Amino acid sequence: MGLLNEIAAPTAVETEERVSSIGKVKGAYLVDGGIHDAIIKVAYMDQSKGGALFLNLELGIGEKTVRAQGPGTGPQGGIYITSGTEKGKKTTYIDKNTNEEKPLPGYSKADSLSKLTVGKGFAELDTEKKIIKQYDWKSGADVNVEVDMLTDLVGQKVKAGIIRQYQDIVTADSNWQPTGLSREANVIDKFFDLETGKTIVEKNADVEAEFASKWEDDFKGIVADATSKKIGLVEEGGKKASVELDDDEEDVFV
CA distance 241 to 234: 10
pLDDT band at 235 (very low <50, low <70, confident <90, very high): very low
Best mean pLDDT range from 6-15, 17-26, 68-77, 83-92 = 83-92
Domain segments of the chain as ranges: 3-250
Work out the average pLDDT over 215-237.
66
Residue 183 in contact with residue 75, Cβ under 8 Å? Answer: no
- Percent of residues, the chain, with pLDDT higher than 90: 54
Least confident range from 26-40, 63-77, 181-195: namely: 63-77
221 phi and psi angles, rounded to 5 deg: 80, 10
- DSSP-derived 3-state class of residue 204: helix
More confident residue, 68 or 199: 199
Task: Please enumerate in sequence order all residues whose Cβ is within 8 A of that of 48, keeping only pairs 6 or more positions apart, or say none.
Answer: 54, 71, 73, 84, 253
Work out the average pLDDT over 217-240.
60
User: What number of other Cβ atoms are within 10 A of residue 8's Cβ?
Assistant: 11
Per-residue pLDDT at 244 exceeds 50: no
Q: Structure pTM?
A: 0.79
CA distance 74 to 147: 22
The predicted structure's pLDDT at residue 166: 79
The predicted structure's pLDDT at residue 150: 98
For 20-43, how does the pLDDT look when each residue is reduced to its tens digit (9 = 90+)? 333 333 345 788 899 999 999 999
pLDDT band at 75 (very low <50, low <70, confident <90, very high): low
Residue 160 host element (H or E): strand 157-170
pLDDT band at 11 (very low <50, low <70, confident <90, very high): low
Residue 83 host element (H or E): none
CA distance 224 to 219: 10
pLDDT band at 251 (very low <50, low <70, confident <90, very high): low
- Mean pLDDT computed over every residue of the chain: 82
